[in-house]
Amino acid sequence: MKKIVCTLLCALTLALTGCGKDIPALNEFTVDNFETLETELAGCDRDDLIKAWGEPTLSSSGFSSDIWDLKGELETLLNVYYNGDGSYNSSLISYMLKYTGTVTEIGDKVSEEATTFKVTVQLDDGSSVVIDTAVDTVYTGAEALEVGQRANFVCTTMTGSNYVWIKTAEIIG
């Protein structure tokens, strides 16, 4: 009987203490140390992260994910994904980028039905950027872009990606 009680107490203690790790503070996550910090989250679950960081800025039950704002104004975000049981699966840092410039080239769509194409923009500082459109940008101004137009772009990218995606494109001239 003592063995059963002891086992139950140990199980209860483990359940109440969560992953048993010192979870890094949100402000410690950067691109430079992201992979190291991400490994420290292994073994934790959603409840552990909420206890450590507070409620997420955004949650998506469809993707089993939470998003915490790292830098303010939703410009740098920590995206955390969970397994079906709520345990930690993976994470990434995503960025909201803002560009203003003139469209110099619009690539062809893959097919007539496709909504994905590349837009090259000459930025006001003289540099250029190639931005990909995505399925969810079709109604946000990207379809109306033409070579020679000036536009404000809000784009996203994430750690480990070579792509920048247009979230919105506002034609300004």
37-60 per-position pLDDT tens digit: 888 899 999 999 999 999 999 888
Considering only residues 2 and 105, tell me which one the structure prediction assigns the higher pLDDT.
Answer: 105
Determine contact, residues 24/74, Cβ cutoff 8 Å. Answer: no
Asked whether the domain spanning 96-171 has the same topology as the one spanning 2-94, the reply is: no
- Residue 126's pLDDT band (boundaries 50, 70, 90)? very high
- Residue 112's pLDDT band (boundaries 50, 70, 90)? low
Q: Of 29, 54, 31, which Cα lies nearest the Cα of 40?
A: 29
Q: ∠ CA 71-62-77 to the nearest 5 degrees? A: 10
Q: What is the mean pLDDT of the chain?
A: 81
CATH class belonging to 2-94: alpha beta
Dihedral of CA atoms 140, 146, 151, 153 in degrees, nearest 10, equals: 50
Residue type, 75: E
Give Cβ neighbours of residue 22 (< 8 Å, ≥ 6 apart).
none
Instruction: Tell me the β-bridge partners of 157.
Output: 95
Whether residue 74 has pLDDT greater than 60 = yes
- 118-123/88-106 β-pairing: antiparallel
Q: Match domain 96-171 to its CATH number in 3.60.15.10, 2.40.128.120, 3.20.20.70, 2.40.50.140.
A: 2.40.50.140
Which single residue is written with the structure tokens 């104004």?
73
For the chain, which residues make up each domain, given as ranges?
2-94, 96-171
Residue 33 half-sphere exposure toward CB, CA atoms < 13 A:
9
